[in-house]
Structure 1
């Protein structure tokens, strides 16, 4: 992985001076999660539009963390809710309360365009009071479920607001919109709110995530970590795949690392280091299904399957060979579809199971010389859309991540000018790390993320390309 020398230079005294005088980007290194840090970046500044329905869920999430709460406005009974849940709370006083680590605004009560004024009132007062590397989450309702046109218009407007706020906030502040269904309770929202208010979401911004009623009943004792869960990760020998496997193992999961036989040495080293097992298989061979199912049976099924394996064979369509087209299709799309069907058909995905695909920003925005790759990564999004209802009926979920520019050996080989453009063309002004993708997958795969189904989450620092 190649170091980002511009990022390092821009954060030295001389570099800050020169980049400032020349009007060049001045990215700051992201603060990422370190073991032992609080689950939520506090204190958390809370606000709501009149008629909001999620204030109690917000406070319930904070109750399980050491974060204190500041509150702005009286649209919700923040002091009463805080007292009920044992959360330390105080009224926010601009210029006196100190900076907030993060902010949550309940916009579910906005029922017409005029109600959007509540967004202006809250964020106009507080945006400068959010500390660098802070987090902002706006909670809304799914527009398609709104009772009338005015409410639908207003709730859809939240998307443009949050995406723009993410680009305005700067200072590595990440902004998300979470649309929460009316039948989703506090338990359904808990894992998502925790993730987006933590340092685990450092390179995720400008996203719209849907939270519905959990696909299974979630008891209060439902675990937040992955201890003891059985996890299959394909393409695990190096890069993003290795980071995913390492992240699950760090949380106590039993990891099965799968990669091609040619990567056998790296695969063996990874499995030994993580205390897991390995499968050296070519997933483009249909015969690999039997080996995967046999392994699943020895583990009592898999709780989580991460379809990470992927390759590129970049060339414009006019110059691309049939073999280059076929290879990318087989590895990136056809194999995940076939393996998923085999696992579901054999009942090899456990209760409250998770399937996570790895798409790409290329599958959303497209890319020159990547018609094959972009088609497969858009196809992964289609797989999520198609299978989400089916998985929900089985008490499981399927989601995908869509990484942007991630610092790996593959991106280190990109020509300098293209590599620099990829790093700077996002709201964070830098490339992400494999661990950013891994942390997002950990959240999607979490046992308490049972209300998160059918989502595509871009891990791209809010790329300036694509939707």
Structure 2
């Protein structure tokens, strides 16, 4: 569903009127198109040390216009703040304030990205000052993201021990966050847990040669995921219930893939998915758990049917399918799993105790499954959408829908494509060193956790 308000206030008379009346001023976001520049304008890298120097060299190799010092009144496409060597809170002052002086020069739809290290590792090593500095980056980045305007976003990359600023997945995460693929990702962190991963030869087709399964692919976000994975080079197996057969066939035909009509809550669903992918396409590399249902009701009025059906489809089915995948010899070569969670599973939502329990369960499953896939060079992550413009949200009453759209830093709803872009990145080998995490695609919700 289109957001006509955002279109109206993004230009001309509508923009001037919104300014005069003090109304929200969302802008149309820069979204990815194949062949477009990664960043529109120079990239300023702030920070001292080997990590910053090596990163600057890597970005120069991408043919980006890299600056190590700001040029007054020069419009910037991105500011990258390298804080990987911070060992006490006082170390943040100079680079952060220096970067802050350049924020007024950040172009519309620009990017601010911090690169820091894992505070939890410092805490476990009993290094309070180091942990304080690293956790401080979390607070400053999330706050900064709420200060940015005109479609600009702020996100962070956290490096675990063993990962460097130029590790493949650190560079993969940076490319994703700089690009239009991350348009609706704001105030979030990606943790690079290892030096694993591999950058693609063709940045516009990072999934070339892969076979990917997408559940719940007949409509909405699932259909967008299937089309995005196909665009990025994957062969797609589109899965949905038999009742959605016509829509499913249309999506499968659109992406030149195959359709599998299947109730994923069946005990044999995992094996049927594996058998279809191998028999029709010779391999299976990626599984996207997108299928899900809602049966909303206040807990005081919740009946067993509503509770049981949501848990069965949204989490129990994923667990059984993953068990089959982990046991299969056909899911061994750097396999990738991405599950669709929800911000409801993080912050909760009135009338959704069953749904929030299932989506919280997805995130717990992801964390616990990551070590099981590591032995095969695999990864598993979750994507948690916020308010996304779909057929379902179009049925929300007008006033409620408008409030929900504006309750994030970007002051608008996301699109199914925004969720699909995040999933496509996490399914790629460029994200091979990122596992067990949850990436929110919510425009940085202003309420809840």
SS at structure 2 position matched to 1:325: helix
Partner residue of 1:322 out of 304, 317, 322: 304
Alpha-carbon contact 1:40-1:194 (below 8 Å) kept:
no
How far 1:60 sits from its partner (Å)?
A: 4.6
Q: Deviations over 1:220-245 (max 9, x none)?
A: 96987111100000000110000000
**Which residue of the partner structure matches residue 39 of structure 1?**
38
Q: Determine whether 1:296 maps to 2:277.
A: yes
Q: 2:224 aligns with which of 243, 249, 261?
A: 243
Using the TM superposition, give the Cα deviation of residue 315 of structure 1 relative to its aligned residue in structure 2, in angstroms: 1.1
Query: Root-mean-square deviation (CA), in Å?
Result: 1.8
Give the match's secondary structure for 2:301: coil
Q: Secondary structure at the match of 1:282?
A: coil
Distance in 2 of aligned mates of 1:260 and 1:297: 20
Does 2:81 correspond to 1:105? yes
TM-score (norm 2): 0.94
Over residues 235-293 of structure 1, what are the superposed CA-to-partner deviations in whole Å (9 max), with x where a residue is unaligned? 00110000000011112211000000000001111111111001100111113233213
The residue matched to 2:24 in structure 1 has which SS? coil
Q: Which residue of the partner structure matches residue 386 of structure 2?
A: 404
Q: Note the alpha carbon deviations across 1:409-452, whole angstroms, 9 max, x for none.
A: 01101111221111100000000001101111111111121111
1:308 aligns with 2:290: yes
| Residue aligning to 1:211 | 192
Mapping of 1:34-113 within 5 angstroms?
34-48=33-47, 50=48, 52-72=49-69, 92-95=70-73, 98-113=74-89
Report what 1:425 is aligned to.
Answer: 407
Q: Number of residues paired by the alignment?
A: 442
> Cα–Cα, structure 1 residues 125 and 243, in superposed 2: closer, same or farther, change >3 Å?
same
Distance 2:67 2:380 in 1: 35
**8 Å Cα contact 2:186/2:442 also seen in 1:** yes
Bigger drift between 151-160 and 441-450 goes to: 441-450
Aligned match of 1:255: 236
| Structure 1: gaps of 5 or more residues | 73-91
- The answer to whether the 8 A contact 2:200-2:430 is kept is no
| Structure-2 separation of matches of 1:377 and 1:3 | 27
Residue aligned with 1:296, SS: helix
SS at match of 1:134: strand
User: Once the two structures are superposed, what CA deviation does each residue of 1:92-122 show, in whole Å capped at 9, x if it has no partner?
Assistant: 3222xx2110111110121111112124322
Matched, 1:137 2:113: yes
Match of 2:27 in 1: 28
Q: 1:230 to 1:64 in 2, by over 3 A?
A: farther
Q: Map 1:112-261 to 2 at 5 A.
A: 112-146=88-122, 148-185=127-164, 186=166, 187-215=168-196, 218=198, 225-261=206-242
Aligned partners of 2:340 and 2:383 also within 8 Å = yes
2-structure distance, mates of 1:256, 1:434: 19
Question: Matches of 1:267 and 1:434 in 2, distance apart?
Answer: 17
CA contact (8 A) 1:353 1:396 kept: yes
Distance change (3 Å), C-alpha of 1:93 and 1:63: closer
SS of residue paired to 2:431: coil
TM-aligned CA distance change 1:318 to 1:249, over 3 Å = same
- Check 1:220–1:267 CA distance in 2 against 1; reply closer, same or farther (3 A cut): closer
Q: Is the 8 A contact 2:78 2:106 kept in 1?
A: yes
Q: Is the contact made by 1:94 and 1:125 (CA closer than 8 Å) also made in structure 2?
A: no
1:18 equivalent in structure 2: 17
Question: For residues 353-403 of structure 1, what are the alpha-carbon distances to aligned partners after superposition, in whole Å with 9 as ceiling and x for unaligned?
Answer: 110010011111100011111111111100111111121122100001000
> Is the 8 Å Cα contact of residues 288 and 338 (structure 2) preserved in structure 1?
yes
> How do residues 253-402 of structure 1 correspond to structure 2 at under 5 angstroms?
253-298=234-279, 299-402=281-384
Moved more, 207-216 or 353-362: 207-216
